[in-house]
Amino acid sequence: MTTHHALSKKVLKPYVYAAVAWLLFAYGIFFIIPNTQSVVALAREDGFFEYAGAFLFLFSGVLFLMNFWKGRKRGKPFSFRNTLFLLLGLVFLLGFFEEISWGQRIFDIPTPEGLKAINTQDELNFHNLSFWNDRDENGARVSGWKQMFTVTRMFSLFWFSFCCLIPTVYQCFGPARKRLERIAFPIVPLSIGGFFMVNYLMLKILTPYVDTLLQYPMVEVSESTSAFLFFLVSLWFVNHRASRLSRRQLT
């Protein structure tokens, strides 16, 4: 007899393997590649990891919108679950355009003077606006209450809540599980969501052990890793219904 738990572990294995492989690759370059400048080049502005993160946001957005479209075809266009998929799709598409600065460097678009004055990187995007950026105009990290409203902090709260906290509450507390099931809240498997915390801890633990020149590139690698993990989450929600077997098949 095949149990549901064993089946779930089997279905989740490819996602777990993919997450482990990306983490080993992404953080391994800091210790395997001896040339510091080569690592910096991979994680620089418009480098491999930044574009990888941008396109992974794009793929995630498309997959979440596919989930929305599936729900729409089933006659529930704006259920709570389906509306959430729509919002997630739009947010990740926005993240893609923000990461490439809306094509500014690709098409050589100048930054308007008004935006340049309040953008810490003089770019055509909104996530680098000075009032919610984690660095000031001199490149120093902001402190105090300003830290609570930075894009970095809000993004961290988002992945922690959606991918770690809510799935843990769902697994551990029966009454909360019933409420979440009642609104058909999309639960991220902890086997995937837990890697967001692994990524966060790896950044914090490994940063002191790399050259000062590599500390900002490591932040870029951490961000692209989050994008890869969200891609796995969005892919899971597209595929997970197909992976379910009926109760009869589980016996």
- Per the structure block, which two tokens stand in for 31? 């210790």
Q: From residue 30, how far is each of 35, 49, 119 by CA, in Å?
A: 9, 13, 30
Can you give the pLDDT at residue 223? 96
Cα dihedral 152, 201, 88, 157, rounded to 10, equals -50
Break the chain down into helix, strand, coil percent, rounded to 5. Answer: 75, 0, 25
Can you give the pLDDT at residue 229? 98
Q: Does residue 2 register a pLDDT over 50?
A: no
Over residues 154-187, the pLDDT tens digits come to 999 999 999 999 999 999 999 999 999 999 999 9
Mean pLDDT of the chain: 86
Conformation bin of residue 246: beta by default, left when phi > 0, alpha when psi is -120 to 50: beta
Can you give the pLDDT at residue 118? 84
Over residues 101-138, the pLDDT tens digits come to 888 888 888 888 888 888 877 888 887 777 677 666 56
Can you give the pLDDT at residue 127? 77
- Helix/strand/coil for 185: coil
Asked if 199 contacts 22 with a C-beta cutoff of 8 angstroms, the reply is: no
DSSP-derived letter for residue 124 is S
Query: Does the global pTM surpass 0.85?
Result: yes
Can you give the pLDDT at residue 114? 80
Q: Does residue 188 register a pLDDT over 90?
A: yes
Helix axes 215-243, 48-73, angle to 10 degrees: 20
